[in-house]
Amino acid sequence: MIDIRLLRNDLDLVKKSISRRGENTEVLDQIIELDLRQRQSAEKRDEIRNEINEISRQVGELHKSGKTDEATPLQESSRSMREEEEKLSEECDRFSEEIRELLLRVPNIPAEDCPNGASAEDNLILRVEGGDTVWEDHQRVPHWEIGETLDILDVERATKLSGAMFAMYTGMGATLCRALIQYGLDRNADAYREIRPPTLVLTETMISTGHLPKFIDDAYHLERDDLWAIPTAEVPLTSYARDEILNESDLPIKLMSHTSCFRREAGSAGRDTRGLLRVHEFDKVELLAYATPEQAQEVHDDILSRAESAIADLGLTYRILDLCTGDLGNSSARTFDIEVYAPGADQWLEVSSISWFSDYQARRANVRYRPQGGKGTSVLHTLNGSGLAVPRVWAALVETYRQEDGSILIPEPLLPYMQGSKIIN
């Protein structure tokens, strides 16, 4: 969440920043009003506490001097004041909770260099790699048809097992899936520590990233146990050090995870959901870092470079987008998307969002660090990006590398993981 001190000190600036997203800023006025009332109640509560403490001191002195009769009315007055103090304390707590609930719904402030725009149509295409490729007719076959012909993707049986928008990889299709996962992990193992977090998490863990309450309709909730299926490993990794204070000397901390991810895709009505274009469950290698504000830009560049090189080394056609304020994720201050081109589906498919969240997520998760040579603690910054998201990369790969005879040529970087196979036929 944003720092409430920013609202107190420069409300107009925060309103202007949030307005860049196309968001209504009336809630900011509500927060400021509640904050003022909360601080007024806290001030009265503290005044009464001081008076109670002074009365307690006087009562103690009277008892010591044997003036018990004089102490009695003071004690009665103290009891009455304690009742008032308790009411004010409850009022302060109520205001604080209302303020937190409203702050949880306020999006992050976009970075100054984030381009303005109203929607995805206004995103900036920074560059396209391989866009001049001449696609042959045998590459213009969609992956769901290729998968059925080669018996490597079985959507029909997946639907029988779990319903629509689930997929099942079979045979060498499953091997290719695992190859992409291991490829994504191995190429980042030089700098990112591998973590295998739980796939089910607490509500507070989902709140920490900003997935709740904003995206509650897109999440799978196990109501009996009050646990949530993670939509991305970003969720547990962001809370890796929740409620902890780290040393600046240990930053940046870089983590990576392979997990299954679950999304209800509640807003997918009317969209193309064939094959692997939009599924409820998928595998992904995620990169995440804790950093100081000074380290954040370098870390953001590093994650983008790693995610891009993973796609480039596979020989896929891709493009880099600089997301505008109107298409920016709720928690993000700056995001770059990588999209691959799938010639069979004839679509650009998002395979990675590389985001810098400033201190927005860390403030929700209460992750702080102790500056070297400084006093107190500071809120750190979080950054993340998909090192490799399997379904859409799998789709673009089998379409791109389809040969005239219908087989699929395996790109060289994946050969070590393909059990000796160089071709799927």
Nearby residues of 230 by Cβ (< 8 Å), 6 or more positions away:
197, 199, 200, 201, 236, 259, 261, 262
CATH superfamily of 120-424: Bira Bifunctional Protein; Domain 2 (3.30.930.10)
At 114-146, the pLDDT tens digits run 999 999 999 999 999 998 999 999 999 999 999
Residue ranges per domain, the chain? 4-103, 120-424
Tell me: the pLDDT tens digits for 361-403?
999 999 999 999 878 999 999 999 999 999 999 999 999 999 9
Position 52 scores a pLDDT of 87
pLDDT in tens, 298-341: 999 999 999 999 999 999 999 999 999 999 999 999 999 999 99
Instruction: Express each pLDDT in 16-34 by its tens digit.
Output: 999 999 999 999 999 999 9
Q: What is the pLDDT of residue 342?
A: 98
Q: How confident is the model at residue 66 (pLDDT cuts 50, 70, 90)?
A: confident
User: What's the topology of domain 4-103?
Assistant: Helix Hairpins (1.10.287)
Model pLDDT for residues 139-164, shown as the tens digit of each residue: 999 999 999 999 999 999 999 999 99
CA atoms within 13 A on the CB side of 356: 28
At residue 375, the pLDDT reads: 85
Place of tokens 């045979």: 171
Q: What whole-number distance in Å separates Cα of residue 49 and Cα of residue 263?
A: 50
Is the distance from CB of 351 to CB of 324 less than 8 angstroms?
A: no
Whole-Å CA distances, 414 to 133, 147, 315, 327, 409: 22, 18, 11, 33, 11
Looking at residue 236, its pLDDT comes to 98
Closest listed residue to residue 347, CA positions, set 166, 145, 149, 140: 140
